Structure 1
Amino acid sequence: MTDQITKLKTIIDESERIVFFTGAGVSVASGIPDFRSMGGLFDEISKDGYSPEYLLSRDYLNADPEGYINFTHKRLLMSDKAPNPVHEWIAQLEDEGRALGVITQNIDGLHSDAGSTNVDELHGTLNRFYCLNCDAEYTKEEVMEKTLKECERCGGPIRPDIVLYGEMLNQQTISRALNKLTSADTLVVLGTSLVVQPAAGLVSNFQGDHFVIINRDQTPYDNSADLVIHDDMVDVIKALNEQS
């Protein structure tokens, strides 16, 4: 892996407008299970008798708001999870003015927790909640501290600001992500199989100089990338920092 790390360091050092595109694999080192991997959240929640897709759908929210909110509190809110070295490395490059920001498929909010400010969360975030009746907004910290399931203003159910199955991606978020991709000189993909559409298809809009993929498994875009590293990304970033 040494030659790959050296090449990665050269690319990062030469880049001035990096964009990071991240998926669930980035947060595995923080203790958050990959939804679809063996032993991940999809395997865990399917034991409840419903399909994982249904439990994470607008149909379930409409049919049983209380059940959906209880599921959210039981399965999705993870107070003990913190950013790992990958999140911190990405935030540092943004802070240094070398990165345009992050486009992420994740809903855990760990990029923001690590200090990244230009984050396009394609599937929303668990860091924000809002009332279905009056749109009152709450932070994850407020919801967790009070075990808040009903709006303090009107009593309506409170849901996380995430994109459920059956809902559309936010078009403003998509537009910001496209602007990043078309302005970037380097795209670094981390921890995603690049198969979940329409989010994954966004990377085809990148026209910059360097395309890097760091992921344990192969992706449909591997042949298009300048550098592909199939290894643990925390190990990759630690090795990269040791060369700096």
Structure 2
Amino acid sequence: MDMKLFETCKNLIINAENVVVLSGAGISTESGIKDFRSRTGVYQMAPEYILSLDYFYQNPREFYHFALQNLYHPDAVPNSGHEILAKWEREGKVSHIITQNIDGLHQKAGSKNVIEFHGTMKTASCLHCDKSYKTEEMINRFQTINEFYICDHCDTRQKRERFIKPDVVLFGDTGEWFTVEGFDRILHMIEAADCLLVLGTSLKVTPFSTFPQYRRKSTPLIIINIGDTPYDTDPNTFVIPESIGKSLSLLDEQPST
């Protein structure tokens, strides 16, 4: 462990007044949630295609069975990494967390300004009338209704038009933030940051992976991730290849001087 690097990053965060965080699956694995692409990840059990919009339409029951087993973690609890970020937000240090995660652990820890870029597994919505269903209700429907994935609040000629889809962004899908307005809001946050903190993501899935490109040249980029990212050798970039909870705990310690 490079303690000199930790001291440098600690001072960068101490002196920052507007830290923006980009988080990925790596922060949630420390709460026992599987990531996607590692040797023990979700995609070792099934191909990526199972989380596509096409597969959802073609095999809604099989899709839900997989998603409820592997993407929904209502009993998971935040770890020290989530809690420190929430503390920094309360202290006025962190302004926004932009996350790829769909587990809601940032909010459970107390963070308020969270953008769930890839959506959430807490709810599902009718693709026709937008009626919202809690995931607990979808589980009950799954167990008791044959065509549980078809909205009974509205009516259309084609049942497929009123499928109830979890509020997550699938492959071939778009989400709330996948608009010109949504992108502009996120890019404005990143451009305004005086420190960009990347946690637990390889930054290889677009468009999320492009966000660090929009920081100002003077804005330091701190990456805490076990594994390489495309930004590791960029100027003004500091890479900590350690666990997130351990690293943030060290960065949260009071300076020795």
The two structures share one fold, judged by TM-score above 0.5: yes
For residues 129-168 of structure 1, what are the structure 2 equivalents within 5 Å?
Answer: 129-140=124-135, 142-143=137-138, 149-150=148-149, 151=151, 153-154=153-154, 157-168=163-174
Percent identity reads 39
- CA drift at 1:67: 2.6
Of residues 73-82 and 22-31 in structure 1, the stretch that sits farther from structure 2 once superposed is: 73-82
1:188 aligns with 2:197: yes
Give the aligned partner of residue 201 of structure 1.
Answer: 210
Cα separation, 1, equivalents of 2:77 and 2:99 = 16
1:237 aligns with 2:248: yes
| Deviation by residue 1:157-204 (Cα, 9 ceiling, x = unmatched) | 432111111113522432222111011010011111111122101110
For residues 42-191 of structure 1, what are the structure 2 equivalents within 5 Å?
Answer: 42-44=43-45, 46=46, 52-140=47-135, 142-143=137-138, 149-150=148-149, 151=151, 153-154=153-154, 157-169=163-175, 170-171=178-179, 172-191=181-200
Runs of 4+ in 1 over 3 A off after TM superposition: 139-157, 241-244
* CA gap 1:144/1:242 in 2 versus in 1, 3 angstroms: farther
Give the aligned partner of residue 35 of structure 1.
Answer: 36
- CA drift at 1:79: 2.0
Instruction: Please tell me the root mean square deviation across aligned C-alpha atoms, in Å.
Output: 2.2
- CA drift at 1:144: 5.2
Letter in 2 for 1:201: T
Q: 1:30 aligns to what SS in structure 2?
A: coil
Q: 2:233 aligns to what SS in structure 1?
A: helix
Give the aligned partner of residue 14 of structure 2.
Answer: 13
* CA gap 1:176/1:147 in 2 versus in 1, 3 angstroms: farther
Structure 2: where are the runs of 5+ without partners? 156-161
| Deviation by residue 1:201-234 (Cα, 9 ceiling, x = unmatched) | 1110011432111111121101124321111111
Structure 1: where are the runs of 5+ without partners? 47-51
Count of residues in Structure 1 that have an aligned counterpart in Structure 2: 238
TM-score between the two structures when normalised by the length of structure 2: 0.84
